[in-house]
């Protein structure tokens, strides 16, 4: 197989793996698919979270670390590669944007985030 075709094959395989995981692991609490962030410097303080967000602490801290450097209040936010929508839902709840649109390749990933769509500014979508 030529090197030019390998990235396409790799992308197709990962897409299939994520779809399979999303279809078989329908746990409502599985809303994040990203890595996490933990403060490591002395004096760094953990982010204060509501009790319901505590199981996703490291995922949320990553979103806070990256998106928190910009004031998103009143802005329209687009998250490309939003997975199951947990990060988009957190941004919507905690950072006060006018709207958040989460886009992803895999439709099955959104199965466990349907409750998040009750947030007034949140719109899931698919990249085709």
**CATH class of segment(s) 6-126:** alpha beta
Give me the pLDDT at residue 59, please: 92
Cβ-Cβ contacts under 8 Å for 97 (sequence gap 6 or more): 72, 73, 74, 75, 76, 77, 91, 121
Tell me if 89 sits within 8 A of 31, measured CB to CB: yes
Q: Rounded CA gap, 10 and 7, in Å? A: 5
Strands 76-80 and 122-126: unpaired
Low-confidence ranges of the chain (pLDDT < 70): 1-5, 22, 25-30, 105-128
- Its pTM stands at 0.70
82-104 pLDDT, tens digit per residue, is 877 888 888 988 899 988 888 77
What pLDDT score was predicted for residue 112? 43
């Amino acid at each position: 197989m030529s090197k030019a075709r390998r990235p396409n094959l790799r992308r197709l395989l990962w897409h299939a793996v994520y779809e399979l995981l999303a279809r078989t692991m329908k746990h409502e609490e599985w809303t994040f698919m990203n890595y996490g962030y933990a403060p490591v410097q002395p004096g760094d303080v953990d982010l204060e979270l509501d009790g319901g967000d505590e199981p996703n602490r490291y995922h949320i801290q990553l979103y806070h670390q990256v998106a928190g450097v910009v004031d998103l209040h009143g802005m329209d936010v687009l998250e490309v590669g939003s997975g199951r929508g947990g990060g988009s839902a957190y941004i919507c709840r905690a950072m006060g944007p006018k709207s958040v649109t989460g886009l992803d390749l895999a439709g099955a990933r959104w199965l466990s985030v349907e409750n998040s769509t009750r947030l007034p500014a949140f719109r899931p979508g698919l990249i085709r």
